[in-house]
Chain A
Amino acid sequence: MLTAAIVAILVTMVLALIRAFLGPTEYDRMLAANAFGTKTVLLIALAGHALSWHSFLDVALLYAMVNFIGTIAVMRFFEYGNTRDNEGSGSTP
């Protein structure tokens, strides 16, 4: 049961990775990286339970947090980029 779930998660990780490699637009890559992070959290939670790793929930929690912050940083990156290009010629000191 747990093994089946782990295998399923690994398969979705492969799919997300393929999207991150191909990804024609940056939004595809961003979403793929985010999905990959979520899958890693799930993988650690599942495998940690199955193989009785040591304090795996702490690490899973940290991953979830890191993933969230990373995604927001990426969003900011694009937002900054756009505003810079729009106002770049007008208000540069």
Chain B
Amino acid sequence: MLLGFLVLIAIAAIRLRDLFAVVMLFGVYSLLTAALFMDLDAVDVAFTEAAVGAGVSTVLMLSGLRLTRRWEEAPGHRPPLPLMVVAVTGAALIYAMLDAPPLGDPTAPVHQHVTPYYIEQTPLEVGVPNIVTAVLASYRGYDTFGETVVIFTAGLAVLLLLGVGGGHSFRPGENAIGDQTVLKPVVKTLIPPILLYGLYVQFHGDFGAGGGFQAGVIFASGFVLYDLAFGEGNARAVVPPAWLHRLAALGVLIYGGVGVYALFAGKAFLDYSALSANPVAGQHAGILLVEIGVGITVFSVVLSIFYAFSGRRRKS
């Protein structure tokens, strides 16, 4: 049922030429994807998809759309060849699917390799109730460090392309919504709970769904909301863009610093047991520090990309 919805939305998004409608449909699409992840019991993934896919990327696409035209031009190329390539690839993928073991089959290769080790050893070695967090931040800490660096690099690339707040000075309250007597108090009362919720997601990642990635996005969306309702100058006065660039680097430095510290303590890179005499306590501290690093980087990159988009003016 939900998959059918997804296919319908994808087809409609391809057919429509009104880019605004496409952005709206993509928002719906990613909400649905997240609902599917929920159904597969992948709460952490659903969390990320909802926060990043439905929330921030809709806002970013809208602010990008503001800089360009709203209607997509009719494509200039002939459709048969690309259609054939896509059809052949799709057929090959579906053919490969026939050999895949059924969902949840305990003898499937994916459940045979390292998964039993993670499930059995996490309570003993890491002592964190949420196995996803243990795998992400501890067993696979390398990969997550790579992801954090990728996010940092992506933010850097966007800033290089769009320019670092050049040429346009912001007055507080500029472009604020006019006399919105309902909206402004609502936003004002909502922002503290949103930030609190972001902190909860950040520090509760060991126990339930969540972690640095989701928390950074939630935290940033609180500031995006403030910016949307109270004008660009105000949000920039609270969190200046120059700070954000430093914070983004600081997050990566915290993560890498934990790894290098472990090196100096005579252990492997990112081996958290170096952080404390008790290996399990060391794992706890390491995961906490690393998640904070991830959260800081994601928060500042998301917010500075938003600043970069909303700070530009369309040259008409």
Contact = CB atoms under 8 A, between A and B. Distances in A.
A55 B208 contact: yes
A62 interface: yes
A80 B190 contact: no
Q: Which of B21, B38, B47 has the most CB of A within 10 A?
A: B38
Contact of B54 (A30, A43, A70): A70
A69 B35 CA distance: 19
Interface string B1-40: 1000100110010000010110011011001101100110
Contact of B38 (A17, A56, A66, A79): A56
B1 A80 contact: no
Contacts of B9: 17
Given A36-B31, A68-B190, A77-B65, A63 B210 contact: no
Contacts of A67: 54
A84 interface: yes
B208 A58 contact: yes
Interface string B157-179: 00000000000000000010100
Contacts of B59: 69-70, 73
A61 B224 CA distance: 18
* Chain B residues touching A, range: 35 or more
A8 interface: no
A65 B194 contact: yes
* Chain A residues touching B, range: 35 or more
Contacts of A30: 24
A70 B41 contact: no
Contacts of B201: 58
Interface in B206-265: 208-210, 214, 218, 221, 224-225, 228-229
A72 interface: yes
Nearest to A23: B21
Given A53-B41, A70-B27, 7 more contacts: A17-B9, A20-B24, A40-B32, A54-B208, A58-B201, A58-B210, A70-B54
10 contacts: A23-B21, A26-B21, A32-B24, A33-B24, A40-B35, A47-B39, A54-B209, A58-B209, A59-B50, A72-B187
Enumerate the 8 nearest inter-chain pairs by beta-carbon distance, A residue then B residue, closest first: A66-B55, A33-B24, A73-B59, A55-B208, A77-B62, A40-B31, A70-B58, A55-B209
